[in-house]
Amino acid sequence: MLRQKIYNIINRDHKGMWAGRVYDWYMLVMIMASIVPLMFIEDYPVFRLIEIVTVSAFIIDYLFRWFTCTLLLKRGWMSYVIYPFTPMAIVDLLSILPGLNLISPEFKLLRMTRLLKIVRLLKIFRYSDKITIFLRVLKKERQVLLSVLMLALFYIFLTALVMFNAEPHINPHTGEVTFHSFFDALYWATVTLTTVGYGDLCPVTDIGRVVSMLSSLFGVAIIALPSGVITASYLEELRDYRKGSVKDCASDTCGKACQSDSLR
């Protein structure tokens, strides 16, 4: 059946098909090529050709996936209605719109067309095994990561609140305004917690400097905790993926052997 053959090629669950691997690499090349014009300020004529070729490939891919969505969603004719509202289908549509010039001139003045083209990088999630594994890791460890995130947000808010009320809003040494608003304090707390510390906002009081040192030390612990969890889970997922690949290869080998025996 034509629908099933197309689905097998464009769907990454069928790793053993050479046509599927070729299609994945082709789409990865199209995605990366579509991003090349964003790396230049000037608009060269060849960029227009790249846009036509890549957007045509995106349109064909979108139509193929819409055509085979009944096999993916298994909802009958309702699949054709549901599919355009799925997350990856929305990403596909946003990737196509800038090339079709469907954005109004007002949005173009705000450079929204170029920004929407960046969305095309999200399409890589569909064609990369390693990114798929990483997304599974994030989903598997989401409770731990959310707990760490909530702890970090609480500490950022707390230190920002302390800093905003402890520090003078005008630096007594230079006379310059240090923290214009509470958002400045939140910005300082975030870059300090992540141990970046750009230095554009600095505490001048002893209390502020003590809070700054504690925030930097606490930031090391905040970053180290999810890193260990993600690394351990990623290695586990990678081992499972390799075992699955070996089983697929073994089944393909057995299938070919059985087919050759039947021909004999």
Relative orientation angle of helices 142-166 and 182-193, to the nearest 10 degrees: 130
Within 10 Å of residue 130's Cβ, how many Cβ atoms?
10
Amino acid letter, 120: R
Given this model, what pLDDT does residue 190 score? 87
Tell me how far apart the alpha carbons of residues 253 and 250 are, in angstroms, rounded to a whole number: 5
Q: Where are the domains of the chain?
A: 2-127, 142-263
Per-10-residue mean pLDDT, the chain, length 264: 84 68 89 88 86 91 92 88 91 84 50 72 78 82 87 88 78 64 86 76 79 82 81 82 61 47 42
Given this model, what pLDDT does residue 29 score? 92
Return the CATH number of 142-263, one of 1.20.120.1200, 1.10.10.10, 1.10.287.70, 1.10.1040.10.
Answer: 1.10.287.70
